RNA sequence: UCAUAGUGAACUC
């Protein structure tokens, strides 16, 4: 049983859904009692790739396995539904929980609050927080942070800050994610100094900055025209033992290209590739786009090849741009060659 | 805790 669950987890990440179903059926046929665990794993796997209807189907089929959904299964379903904006369905899942005597927990509420905020249903989200308190289901740092983030993204800074206050009054300590949300918001508002103050505050309170903190700051400082400070933040990050990840690299590469520092941007790519982290699709798009904008068309093709060598293929937008450019240059052969090299795209200029 | 929730990056718009 334990082994099965581990296997299903792996299959789920590999999107081998059919294999999971076969495994579940095999388990049932061999008389193994199927618990809610493998179903939760399956529902989550569907959820991750946005297959909400399949997630719903998996949830319903639990019945056929005489398996009663628990709060984990409900939460996974809610998550899958909200990810693709099935708000009505999610709300009815939430009602079902109550009817089936399954008490929502803090994860249930946080999932709902996050989902509702994402689609602008801030009042509903806010009401849920009140409902939690009334039902003696204590919100935690994640719950408050989700709501803070929701208000910030919706441009309701006052409410965000009020929630942030409320959180602390209730004894929930802000963590790195909470700070990162606020830091990012200050940066986006063009107030990197405020963001830096918050950085000091978090450090002062013993909360370690992470990738998110530094990346948000670096981006904000570049945006505010303070490239030198941004680069010193990179050094600080490395000095503190927090190594840049792919998002940090993308931020750097993007800005360096904008600042016409393409050599530095390419140096970062070298550095990145010489280290643990491989470029991902976003790094790829960032760099290619940056090189085009900076007029470094000489470097475009060899960079594309290097990244493809690392298994990092251009996305649709980049690919179209590349092919267009090659065709304009009259290098249609190279364009066709490139298209062939990129699997599974049927794009033609 | 064998399974679930909140942050950061490019392009497109």
At residue A99, what are phi and psi to the nearest 5 degrees?
Answer: -65, -30
The pair of structure tokens assigned to A176 is 């790195």
Q: Which nucleotide's C1' is closest to A142 (Cα)? A: B6
What pLDDT does A182 receive?
97
- Measured CA to CA, the distance from residue A349 to residue A342 in angstroms comes to 15
Torsion angle, alpha carbons of A54, A56, A60, A62, to 10: 70
Give pLDDT, residue A276.
Answer: 63
pLDDT band at A4 (very low <50, low <70, confident <90, very high): confident
- Model confidence pLDDT, tens digit, residues A60-74: 999 999 999 999 999
Q: Is the CB of A186 under 7 A from strand B?
A: no
Q: How far out from the chain centre does Cα A238 lie?
A: 23
Q: Is A8 helix (H, G, I), strand (E, B) or coil?
A: helix
The complex's ipTM works out to 0.88
Looking at every residue in chain A, the average pLDDT score rounds to 91
- Give the C-alpha separation, A166 to A152, whole Å: 15
pLDDT of residue A346: 52
Q: Is there contact between A292 and strand B, defined as CB under 7 Å from any strand atom?
A: no
Asked whether the beta carbons of A147 and A134 are under 8 A apart, the reply is no
Asked if residue A1 has pLDDT above 80, the reply is: no
Sequence-distant (6+) residues with CB within 8 A of A122 are A116, A150, A151, A154, A156, A159
| Range of lowest pLDDT (A130-134, A173-177, A271-275, A328-332) | A271-275
**Of A187 and A307, more confident:** A187
- Do A227 and A255 touch, CB atoms closer than 8 A? yes
* Contacts of A52-55 spanning 24+ positions with Cβ under 8 A: A52/A80, A52/A81, A52/A83, A52/A84, A52/A86, A52/A89, A54/A17, A55/A80, A55/A81
- Residue A213, CB, strand B, below 7 Å: yes
Q: Indicate if CB(A211) is under 7 A from strand B.
A: yes
Q: For the segment A118-133, what is each residue's pLDDT rounded down to a tens digit?
A: 999 999 999 999 999 9
The protein residue nearest nucleotide B7, judged by CA to C1', is: A177
For A328, other C-beta atoms within 10 Å of its C-beta total 11
pTM, two decimals, is: 0.91
Separation of CA A44 and C1' B4 in angstroms?
Answer: 8
Nearest-angstrom CA–CA distance, A337 and A339 = 5
């Amino acid at each position: 049983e334990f082994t099965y669950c581990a296997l299903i987890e792996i299959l789920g990440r590999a999107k081998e859904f059919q294999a999971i179903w076969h495994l579940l059926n095999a388990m049932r046929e061999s008389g193994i009692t199927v618990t809610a665990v493998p179903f939760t794993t399956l529902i989550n796997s569907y959820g991750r790739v946005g297959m909400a209807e399949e997630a719903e189907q998996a949830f319903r089929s639990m019945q056929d396995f005489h398996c009663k959904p628990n709060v984990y299964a409900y939460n996974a379903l809610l998550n899958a539904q909200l990810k693709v904006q099935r708000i009505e369905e999610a709300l009815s899942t939430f009602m079902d929980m109550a009817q089936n005597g399954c008490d929502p927990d803090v994860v249930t509420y946080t999932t709902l609050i996050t989902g509702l905020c994402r689609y602008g249903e801030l009042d509903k989200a806010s009401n849920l927080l009140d409902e939690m308190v009334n039902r003696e289901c204590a919100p935690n740092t994640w719950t408050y942070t989700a709501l803070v983030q929701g208000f910030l993204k919706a441009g309701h800074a006052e409410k965000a800050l009020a929630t942030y206050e409320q959180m602390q009054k209730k004894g929930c300590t802000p963590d790195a994610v909470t700070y990162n949300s606020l830091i990012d918001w200050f940066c986006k508002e063009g107030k990197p100094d405020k963001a830096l103050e918050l950085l000091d505050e978090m450090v002062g309170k013993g909360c370690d900055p992470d990738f998110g903190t530094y990346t948000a700051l670096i981006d904000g400082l570049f945006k505010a025209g303070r490239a030198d400070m941004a680069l010193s933040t990179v050094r600080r990050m490395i000095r503190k033992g927090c190594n840049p990840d792919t998002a940090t690299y993308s931020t750097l590469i993007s800005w360096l290209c904008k600042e016409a520092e393409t050599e530095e941007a390419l140096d970062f790519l070298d550095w990145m590739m010489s280290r643990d982290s491989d470029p991902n699709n976003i790094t790829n798009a960032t760099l290619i786009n940056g090189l085009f904008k900076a007029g470094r068309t000489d470097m475009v093709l060899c960079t594309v090849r290097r990244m493809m060598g690392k298994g990092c293929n251009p996305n649709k937008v980049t690919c179209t741009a590349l092919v267009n450019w090659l065709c304009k240059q009259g290098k249609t052969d190279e364009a066709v060659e490139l298209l062939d090299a990129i699997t599974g795209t049927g794009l033609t200029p």
